[in-house]
Amino acid sequence: MYWKLYWKRFYMDLINKVDAEDKSSKFDYELPYINKPGIAFSFDDSFRVNQWMKYGKEIFGYYDVKVTFNINAFHHFEGNREHTQKEIDMLLELQSYGHEIAHHGFNHQRADQYSKEKGLSKWIDDEIEAMLDWMKKQKHSKTNEKFKNPVSFAFPYAESNEATIEELVPKYFKIVRGHLYDKYLLPFDHTGFAASICADSLYLHNTKYIKKIMKAAKQAGSNLIIMCHSILPENINWDEFGWGDESNAAGEWRISPKVIQEIIDEAKKIGMEFYTTSEIAGVATFIDPNLERCVRKKILNPLDRWISISELGKIKELDLSSQNISNLDGIQYFTNLERLDLSNNNIADFRLIEKLSKLKVININNNPRSFSTSGSLVAR
């Protein structure tokens, strides 16, 4: 069967690569975002957002198992309508839980086919630029939170060619994800094309295959992107969504919460981290533009398009007082931070401070503080 050949191809290729590696280059200790191997779940097609929310949000948690959701502006079915405000709110809520909302094309056109038929520049205008403009216009109906500027792109149908990749990187994105390729393991701070393996039930009939590949990635000190689509329990019938026969093919692309949990448990067991695609690319992102503005003043090259996670990891002191900051997303990348001043801002949620294990002194005076940490947070 094809799926057996699929996994055998990946596994044997990875084993050969791992065996050929120079093990002397391995680090004595592992640091998240720098050299600790991880997996990145990458979910395609935002017409599935209700499924992502209902069956994925609780499994992934708050800045725990971070994943990437690759979105379009339109529902693939229901008359190819534009996303409703309710759906946009759900996507932005997923972003607020630490997940990446990435670019998947304005109307999910096949990059290879569309660019050959209408020209590369037409594909860029219709699919890339149009989606970037659409994302900039959206905001949450209650919080006014907006989408971050996308760092990564996932090719619709995982189809690409050299011309489309070269057109996108680095002009529009730092990393673009496809599917099969000759290199499956990804280094940190990756730029360019990134392969992925598909864990939908159409391909993954036994989790032993992906567990073996995860162990190989761990041994190699590299990262692995796992492509999925719908999140649905096995007993949910696709026909229940009422999208008609035209949607049946899309309904084949699904993974169950049970399988996702198995993969998560295995990753934790063997000591792998959970990353978004943009984090594998080494890019730090921020929901709050005021926080990003302050961070850019602190780094070596503030005008660079992408803020390097590794550079933020070198900073030990940070004064963010009186900057009208309301969201701390991005603070988790300051892994060596020892002193932090957040006083006189509009911050109500301090849970991300728990990610800063080396923090010694913090000032959070004059903030709303409706959400704090588990009790270890003290203003000094």
- pLDDT, residue 131, reads 98
Does 320 lie in the same domain as 243? no
Kindly state whether residue 198 falls inside one of the protein's structural domains: yes
**84-131: per-residue pLDDT in tens?**
999 999 999 999 999 999 999 999 999 999 999 999 999 999 999 999
**21-60: per-residue pLDDT in tens?**
554 456 677 899 999 999 999 999 999 999 999 999 999 9
Is the per-residue pLDDT at 72 higher than 70? yes
- pLDDT, residue 24, reads 46
Does 307 lie in the same domain as 254? no
291: domain CATH number is 3.80.10.10
Give the pLDDT band of residue 259 (cuts 50, 70, 90).
very high
Mean pLDDT of 300-325: 95
Mean pLDDT of 303-332: 97
Does 89 lie in the same domain as 47? yes
Kindly state whether residue 23 falls inside one of the protein's structural domains: no
Among residues 285, 286, 284, 291, which one has the least CA distance to residue 346?
291
- Give the span between the Cα atoms of 319 and 323, in whole angstroms: 9
Q: Of the candidates 216, 249, 280, which is a domain's last residue?
A: 280
Q: Of the candidates 280, 298, 329, which is a domain's last residue?
A: 280
Q: Of the candidates 263, 280, 297, which is a domain's last residue?
A: 280
DSSP, collapsed to helix, strand or coil, labels residue 11 as helix
Does 157 lie in the same domain as 44? yes
Does 213 lie in the same domain as 88? yes
Question: What mean pLDDT, rounded, does the chain reach?
Answer: 92
CA distances from 139 to 87, 98, 210 (A): 11, 17, 37
Residue with tokens 């890339």: 128
Does 348 lie in the same domain as 305? yes
**Chain center to CA of 124:** 22
Domain that holds residue 244: 2-17+30-280
Does 213 lie in the same domain as 164? yes
- pLDDT, residue 380, reads 42
Residue with tokens 């690319």: 281
Residue 197 has which token pair?
A: 């393996």
Does 174 lie in the same domain as 102? yes
Of the chain, the percentage scoring pLDDT greater than 70 comes to 90
Among residues 211, 267, 328, which one has the least CA distance to residue 66?
267
Kindly state whether residue 207 falls inside one of the protein's structural domains: yes
**Chain center to CA of 6:** 24
Does 156 lie in the same domain as 179? yes
Residue 104 has which token pair?
A: 């998947």
State the maximum Cα–Cα separation within the chain, in Å, rounded to a whole number: 63
Q: What letter would DSSP give residue 334?
A: -
DSSP, collapsed to helix, strand or coil, labels residue 100 as strand
Is the per-residue pLDDT at 375 higher than 50? no
Is the per-residue pLDDT at 70 higher than 70? yes
Give the pLDDT band of residue 369 (cuts 50, 70, 90).
confident
Mean pLDDT of 14-22: 61
- Give the span between the Cα atoms of 210 and 218, in whole angstroms: 12
49: domain CATH number is 3.20.20.370
Kindly state whether residue 61 falls inside one of the protein's structural domains: yes
- Give the span between the Cα atoms of 136 and 131, in whole angstroms: 9
Among residues 122, 123, 135, 197, which one has the least CA distance to residue 160?
123
**323-366: per-residue pLDDT in tens?**
999 999 999 999 999 999 999 999 999 999 999 999 999 999 99
- pLDDT, residue 1, reads 60
Give the pLDDT band of residue 209 (cuts 50, 70, 90).
confident
Q: Is the preceding peptide bond at 187 cis, omega within 30 degrees of 0?
A: no
- Angle between helix 2-20 and 207-220 (nearest 10): 20
Does 194 lie in the same domain as 330? no
Kindly state whether residue 72 falls inside one of the protein's structural domains: yes
